[in-house]
Amino acid sequence: MGGETAKGLRFGGGGSRICGVKLSLVFLWGLGMGVSWGAGKWGMVDTTGTWRLAEKYEEVGEFRGDLKRSFTLPEFLPGVKGAKVKKWLKAEGDEVKAGEPLAQMEMVEPVLPVESPISGMLVKIGVPAGGAAIPGSVLGSVRNLAHVGMFEKKQFDVICPGYGPNPGSATMVRWLKLEGDAVGKGEKIAEVRPKEAMAMLQAPGSGTLVKIEVKDGEEVKVGQAVAKMGIGRVPVKLGGEWFYADERGTRVTQDRYMEVGSMLGGMAPVRVGEKWAFVDGEGRLISKATDGKKAKGFSLGMSEKAEFDAARKVRGGLAAVKVMDRWGYVAYQDGGIRTAIAPRFLQAKDFSEGLAAVEESEDAPVGEGDEVVEDKSEAEAKKPAGPAAWGYILPSGKLWGRLDFAVAGDFLDGRAAVQALGEGMPWVLIDSKIKTRTTKNYGGLVPLGAKRVAWKQSGGWGLMDLQERVMEIRPGLKNQDGEGVGQDVLEAVGPFGDERAPAKEPGGKWGYLDSEGKWAIPPKFERALVFHGGLAAAKEPGGKWGYLKPDGSWGLEPKYTKARAFTDGLAAVSEQGEVELGPEGATGGNWE
């Protein structure tokens, strides 16, 4: 149903992950009021098992950020290709704010351009090559040769440019123009080299300085990584309210929300009362942009800014929103919310690989007022003649192909599983040109990543590649029709990550398959989640949760009563309360 719940948002883009399966907020939190899974509190650990968020939260959502995001040396001034780190002002592990100075930099051999102040003739060179000057001093003069009035200024000084907060002297490297040459306004006419030019390296965002790559006194080139920042956001529930915290648990939002979603693309959806809005990475509610420009000020209250009946997280640069009974998409642009595709769909899924599945009805408008369809007659011809049908749209909002499907899935590896309109129609795979790419009839198809697809014909699930080559999961086993090998032997199978896919054998145990359908990790677990970042949560029979490596060994020993999958280096876990079994993953379910 396009990811919609009774209140609009499915946490993390389709539901909240509990033991590998995303559940809607209606189930998980009871319409936003909060449901506790046992008495244990939640915290978050990194891939080494170190606690990053204290075990004190009633609920913890999906962490989004990168604890090892490198940032590079910017080009402070034109012509400056490198710099020397004079002194780091922050230490590893320090919290920093966006724009806060991190290090003092000394430019290495910078050569700065000197531009002509007007168009005219270079009539005087005051400082010859090799001569000294200071920022703001006169280097020469240019005369205006155009018609000027009696009281208008005819001659203008060429000024030595500034190059830092505490500039010293500079040396004239060379003049590119000679006295008497014609020059244009803004044209480069000379070059100077500062004796010492200083600048500040600023933090690219608010977070933690995780690692310093270039030590004091070392030189670094423009574009080279100088440090790694931890810049992330995670929604947490504490004291009955939801807010956003960074990877150290420091609260970054002060407002109270009824429900929240993941922080992606610079913003996250939040529910205020019965309506939805978006907040930025610093927790500020985002106003609606006007004519593509940033909305000025934040004079409106929270409830006045919350204008959507439902909202989901950003996927593919756009976030699906619902207004009244129609779905559309918005984008975060220039600090404001901009309508990218006007609400006109009965249902809408998130963008994946440049396309989004939407359900449109016969009475839905076709691009009227949203400037997304140039040829209205063409769009009208693509609309269904009867009941609502599914199809795909581009980020521009234009329909891509016809609305031909009763069911339309997301694209993965250039393929999407669809079912045509009509009773008893088989499932097929289509490519991004909406061309059918399978030849057989299937009772179910689910792209799993790694160019592998789960398929079903008579009750169980098998594994095949994009060319319909069947993987032998257990050689010699026949399907219910007595045909084929290695078919219909799985009760369920999930997406691939790190070349491993969680799968459940008919005996009821979970393990992990490789891309050829072999058991890379034997089926012996009660539950198994998807691999992310080299680790996957799995539960021992009658035991606790731990995290497996792709080779089957424990990366984090099974000691947790509750566990969720890693996202961007952190995972929500608990060592308190009773051991949580949780629902099982299902083929085609939400595993993110």
pLDDT single digits (tens) 117-142: 999 999 999 999 999 988 889 999 99
Would you state the pLDDT for residue 167?
64
Is 131 domain-assigned?
A: yes
Together in a domain, 264 and 337: yes
Would you state the pLDDT for residue 168?
73
Is 343 domain-assigned?
A: yes
Would you state the pLDDT for residue 205?
78
Q: Other C-beta atoms within 10 Å of 193: how many?
A: 17
C-beta contacts of 462-468 below 8 A and 24+ residues apart = 462/486, 462/487, 462/488, 462/489, 462/490, 463/490, 463/493, 463/501, 463/513, 463/517, 466/413, 466/415, 466/429, 466/437, 468/438, 468/439, 468/440
Is 444 domain-assigned?
A: no
Residue 246 to residue 290: CA distance in whole angstroms: 30
- pLDDT, mean of residues 444-455: 96
CA-closest candidate to residue 272, choices 223, 235, 311:
311
Strands (E), 116-256: 120-125, 132-133, 138-143, 155-159, 170-175, 182-183, 188-194, 198-202, 207-212, 219-221, 225-238, 241-245
Would you state the pLDDT for residue 222?
84
* Phi and psi, residue 539, nearest 5°: -115, 125
- Which of 372, 396, 430 is the last residue in one of the domains? 372
For 273-328, the pLDDT digits (tens) are: 899 999 988 788 898 765 434 433 333 344 556 789 999 999 999 999 999 999 99
- pLDDT, mean of residues 356-372: 60
- Which of 185, 207, 223 is the last residue in one of the domains? 223
Most confident range (mean pLDDT) of 172-181, 260-269, 349-358 is 349-358
Together in a domain, 208 and 168: no
Is 168 domain-assigned?
A: yes
- pLDDT exceeds 50 at position 37: no
376 falls in which pLDDT band (50, 70, 90)?
very low
Together in a domain, 205 and 190: no
Together in a domain, 26 and 86: no
44 falls in which pLDDT band (50, 70, 90)?
very high
- pLDDT exceeds 60 at position 478: no
For 379-391, the pLDDT digits (tens) are: 444 444 556 799 9
- pLDDT, mean of residues 200-225: 86
- Which of 340, 372, 404 is the last residue in one of the domains? 372
DSSP per residue, 361-375: -TTS-SSTTTT--S-
Q: Which of the two residues, 264 and 33, has the higher pLDDT score? A: 264
Q: Which of the two residues, 178 and 8, has the higher pLDDT score? A: 178
Return the minimum-mean-pLDDT range out of 24-38, 226-240, 391-405, 458-472.
Answer: 24-38
Residue 326 to residue 323: CA distance in whole angstroms: 6
Would you state the pLDDT for residue 503?
96
Q: Containing domain of residue 119, as a range?
A: 112-196
Is 448 domain-assigned?
A: no
Together in a domain, 145 and 188: yes
Residue 203 to residue 222: CA distance in whole angstroms: 16
Would you state the pLDDT for residue 413?
97
User: Dihedral of the CA atoms 251, 257, 258, 263 (nearest 10)?
Assistant: -70
Together in a domain, 349 and 268: yes
User: What share of the chain has pLDDT > 70, as a percent?
Assistant: 81
Together in a domain, 347 and 246: yes
- pLDDT exceeds 70 at position 237: yes
Residues 358, 359, 363: CA angle, nearest 5 degrees: 130
Residue 408 to residue 427: CA distance in whole angstroms: 10
Return the minimum-mean-pLDDT range out of 215-219, 370-374, 544-548.
Answer: 370-374
Encoded tokens for 342: 């006007």
On average, the pLDDT of the chain sits at 82
21 falls in which pLDDT band (50, 70, 90)?
very low
Together in a domain, 80 and 209: yes
Q: Which of the two residues, 218 and 166, has the higher pLDDT score? A: 218
* Chain centre to alpha carbon of residue 348: 19
Tally: H helices and E strands in the chain: 4, 48
196 falls in which pLDDT band (50, 70, 90)?
confident
Would you state the pLDDT for residue 288?
78
Together in a domain, 265 and 285: yes
Together in a domain, 80 and 39: no
Together in a domain, 93 and 214: yes
Would you state the pLDDT for residue 370?
36
Is 438 domain-assigned?
A: no
Domains in the chain: how many in total? 3
- pLDDT, mean of residues 2-24: 31
Is 158 domain-assigned?
A: yes
For 344-357, the pLDDT digits (tens) are: 999 999 999 999 99
Is 161 domain-assigned?
A: yes
- pLDDT exceeds 50 at position 373: no
Domain with residue 123: its CATH number is 2.40.50.100
Would you state the pLDDT for residue 153?
84
Together in a domain, 81 and 218: yes
